[in-house]
DNA sequence: GATTGACCTGAACAATGGTTTAGGTTGCAT
DNA sequence: ATGCAACCTAAACCATTGTTCAGGTCAATC
């Protein structure tokens, strides 16, 4: 049907292909789809078929994960794109700038904590009421009962580089 | 029995008192005990009675939490103390120095990530194979399938300042 | 002695980010 | 046409850090 050169370009990807190319487990792709982070068409036999754009989307997800953005927020950000399309360079620019700010703030909080900790080491002040380390709230203290966010990237335990 | 001045000093604390003084919920104290982070005696009626040392122990736990040390590691560290006693100033010095190093490393990883992200913003390189952001492993990449660690301190939702 | 608040236990639930398992279907190759 | 790998779903499970609930006990006060 299509010319030979276009054949590979237009070809829809199976979930296994996306897993291999993105380095994300098939189960994770299913999970992302349930959470509305990615989308797929279905083949006649109900199997997922992905547009190549999904690779970029997954790449964005992976970077966001490393930054520590919870999936729910990534989902919101991706859903906020006009026409729910995959992020292009401009979209990525906006997203990454926002997330870099969050990352910056996180680094600042941790740095402040580290400095307080350094002050505190060896002083035994953990017993004192006035210890800054024991009394957050200066500029620290971050709420969010449901919104924990992890830190690590957590490579695939299975394999898939 | 004991002199009036010593009465308050020797008095064992109930779980409610520890909760109030430490700013940690009773349920959390139960949880910490199940995990071996704190210990208690029992009254004749099977109620927990805490030595005042537990307050210091809980303080250490709270600081470790803010740093992002998982409870299992805190438990190990506290268990590693000679005679399983509550940490004194010297113990705290050792612990906090170790944890400060971890915090430092974490800050370094995040800073590196932020710099990569800054480089990446607007360049659209998310599509390129060579993008450093998409290819961790330079000095990043942190394993550990079971050992996620959170970031935030998570103030008590109930109350208890 | 009765009431009330604090306490006890064990189990279920919550949130995040998935993996694993069980049982069944598709799709491609031979 | 048959076999095998890859796919499908739903539900259960893992880890972490607790909270909440149900059902019952303890302790102090009136």
Cross-chain Cβ contact B150/A148 below 8 Å: yes
Cross-chain Cβ contact B153/A141 below 8 Å: yes
Does the CB of A14 fall within 7 Å of any strand D atom? yes
Residue matched to tokens 């709230």: A137
Does the CB of B111 fall within 7 Å of any strand D atom? no
3-class SS of residue B72: helix
Residues A112/B126, Cβ–Cβ less than 8 Å: no
This prediction's pTM = 0.80
Q: What are the tens digits of pLDDT across the range B17-61?
A: 999 999 999 999 999 999 999 999 999 999 999 999 899 899 999
Q: Does position A2 have pLDDT exceeding 70, yes or no? A: no
Q: Is B44 left (phi over 0), alpha (psi -120 to 50) or beta?
A: alpha
* pLDDT recorded at residue B12: 92
A95-100, long-range: CB within 8 Å, 24+ apart, which pairs? Answer: A95/A60, A95/A64, A96/A63, A96/B117, A96/B120, A96/B121, A96/B122, A97/B121, A99/A64, A99/A67, A99/A69, A99/B117, A100/B114, A100/B117, A100/B118, A100/B121
CA distance A41 to A47: 8
Mean pLDDT of A12-22: 96
CA distance B106 to B114: 12
3-class SS of residue B49: strand
- Tell me which residue of A97, A86, A118 sits closest to B107, measured CA to CA: A118
* pLDDT recorded at residue B89: 80
Give the gap in angstroms from C-alpha B36 to the nearest C-alpha of chain A. Answer: 21
B44 vs A: CB within 8 A: no
> Measured CA to C1', what is the nucleotide nearest B147?
D15
**Protein B128 CA to nucleic acid D9 C1', in Å?**
35
Q: Does position A70 have pLDDT exceeding 60, yes or no? A: yes
**Protein B57 CA to nucleic acid D17 C1', in Å?**
18
A3 vs B: CB within 8 A: no
A47, two tokens: 């199997």
Confidence class for position B86, pLDDT limits 50, 70, 90: confident
Tell me the C-alpha to C-alpha distance, in Å, between residue B78 and each of B6, B70, B82, B98: 28, 13, 9, 13
Tell me the C-alpha to C-alpha distance, in Å, between residue B26 and each of A33, A135, B53, B65, B156: 39, 20, 17, 17, 11
**Protein B144 CA to nucleic acid D14 C1', in Å?**
13
């Amino acid at each position: 049907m299509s010319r030979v050169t276009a054949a590979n370009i237009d070809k829809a990807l199976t979930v296994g292909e996306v897993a291999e190319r993105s380095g994300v487990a098939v189960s994770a792709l299913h999970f992302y789809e349930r959470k509305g982070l990615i989308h797929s068409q279905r083949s006649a036999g109900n199997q997922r078929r992905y547009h190549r754009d999904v690779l970029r989307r997954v790449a964005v997800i992976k970077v966001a994960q490393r930054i520590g953005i919870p999936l729910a927020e990534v989902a919101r950000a991706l859903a906020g794109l006009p026409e729910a399309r995959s992020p292009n360079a401009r979209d990525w620019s906006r997203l990454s700038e926002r997330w870099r700010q969050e990352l910056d703030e996180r680094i600042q909080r941790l740095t402040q904590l580290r400095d307080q900790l350094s002050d505190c080491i060896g002083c035994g002040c953990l017993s004192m009421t006035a210890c800054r380390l024991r009394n957050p709230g200066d500029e620290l203290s971050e709420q969010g009962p449901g919104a924990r966010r992890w830190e690590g990237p957590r490579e695939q335990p299975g394999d898939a580089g």
